[in-house]
Structure 1
Amino acid sequence: MRACFAAVTALALSLAAATTPAAAQSAAKVQSGMLVCKVAPSVGFVLGSMREMVCEFRNTSVQPYVVKSRYKGTIARFGIDIGVLAADTLAWAVFAPTANPVPSDIAGSYVGVSADAAWTIGAGANVLLGGSNNQIALQTVSVEGMVGADVAAGIADLTLILLPN
């Protein structure tokens, strides 16, 4: 299982580097906060999956942190996705052109690569680019913790909708 996960993760990171637009790779960005999402359970349907989520955009402090804005959204994966996962939490470092992006700049669509593997417990990683002006990059802070049985790799599509305060 570890060899499978290592291969899937290496493939995802290679695809991320190859599919990241040159402008996004060279544009100067600063870490402006963390996006922490509670994700609903899922069942993989061989060719993809979709999960609902609620997210908080927080400052970079661990505790106490400040919630800057809230979002609801979905994350879909297109590719190989076989298995069942319990509810979990995803966390990304948010990189933007400024240290204080407007909350509506983070809302929007993101696309990138994703890979994970789990047997009882597991881990995954993903890298996404997008936002309202395609200027925001989401990078996995640490490998996501998962509970379930799953093997997945493919293209990830994340949509975030800003919630009123």
Structure 2
Amino acid sequence: MATGLTLLALLAAGIPAQPAAAGQDHVKIGVLTCAAGVEIGLLITSGEKVRCSFVPDKHESEHYYGHIRKFGLDIGITAASVIVWAVLAAEGTQYTTGALAGTYAGVSAEETLALGLGANLLIGGSNKGFVLQPLSVQGQAGLNLAVGVSVLELEHRR
């Protein structure tokens, strides 16, 4: 039942359950680091602003800003956190400046009791062709329990 609800939520967000290039090999093209502020979780949804920097393997660093929202069970309050993702793309993808802008979605889970951990695998971006694979799980202080679907919206900051 939970898997069906997760797939339904992903489809409602316009994100396929698998990357557009499913079946193709994906390669790491860089690292995305996002910092978020204090978060107050509500029963059904929570959200926070993020500031991100992307360090591509073969280009100059870029900056993004946006929002990350969680839909599902989310109860509590947490202090600032940092999330680090490996950015993957289908092999042969030609990356262009600003291409990470767009909407990402995926299943997330986190638990915080004083110091906590969370993980978020997200799919999206330009043509839904990027995968954000957690490298460093978020470290945060507070009291929180969250399970559901995460949506990350990124805008390129010029």
Q: Report the TM-score, using the length of structure 1 for normalisation.
A: 0.80
Aligned residues: 146
Distance 1:53 1:46 in 2: 21
Match of 1:39 among 27, 36, 40: 36
- List 4+ stretches of structure 1 deviating above 2 A: 19-25, 97-100
Preserved CA contact (<8 Å) 1:55 1:71: yes
Distance 1:106 1:118 in 2: 29
Match of 1:127 among 107, 114, 121: 121
Partner residue of 1:83? Answer: 76
Preserved CA contact (<8 Å) 2:20 2:129: no
Preserved CA contact (<8 Å) 1:32 1:99: no
Does the alignment pair 1:139 with 2:97? no
Partner residue of 2:51? Answer: 54
Preserved CA contact (<8 Å) 1:90 1:144: yes
Does the alignment pair 1:115 with 2:112? no
- Shift of the 139–147 alpha-carbon distance from structure 1 to 2, 3 Å rule, reads same
Preserved CA contact (<8 Å) 2:83 2:136: no
Give the aligned residue type for 1:34. Answer: V
Preserved CA contact (<8 Å) 2:106 2:120: yes
Give the secondary structure class of the aligned counterpart of 2:95. Answer: coil
Give the aligned residue type for 1:131. Answer: G
Give the aligned residue type for 1:112. Answer: G
Preserved CA contact (<8 Å) 2:107 2:120: yes
How big is the alpha-carbon RMSD for the aligned residues of Structure 1 and Structure 2? 2.4
Preserved CA contact (<8 Å) 1:37 1:90: yes
- Shift of the 122–95 alpha-carbon distance from structure 1 to 2, 3 Å rule, reads same
- Runs (5+) with no aligned partner, structure 2: 8-15
Identity of aligned residues (%): 34
* Cα displacement (A) at 1:145: 1.1
Partner residue of 1:3? Answer: none
Does the alignment pair 1:158 with 2:152? yes
* Cα displacement (A) at 1:53: 0.6
- Shift of the 125–101 alpha-carbon distance from structure 1 to 2, 3 Å rule, reads same
Distance 1:99 1:57 in 2: 17
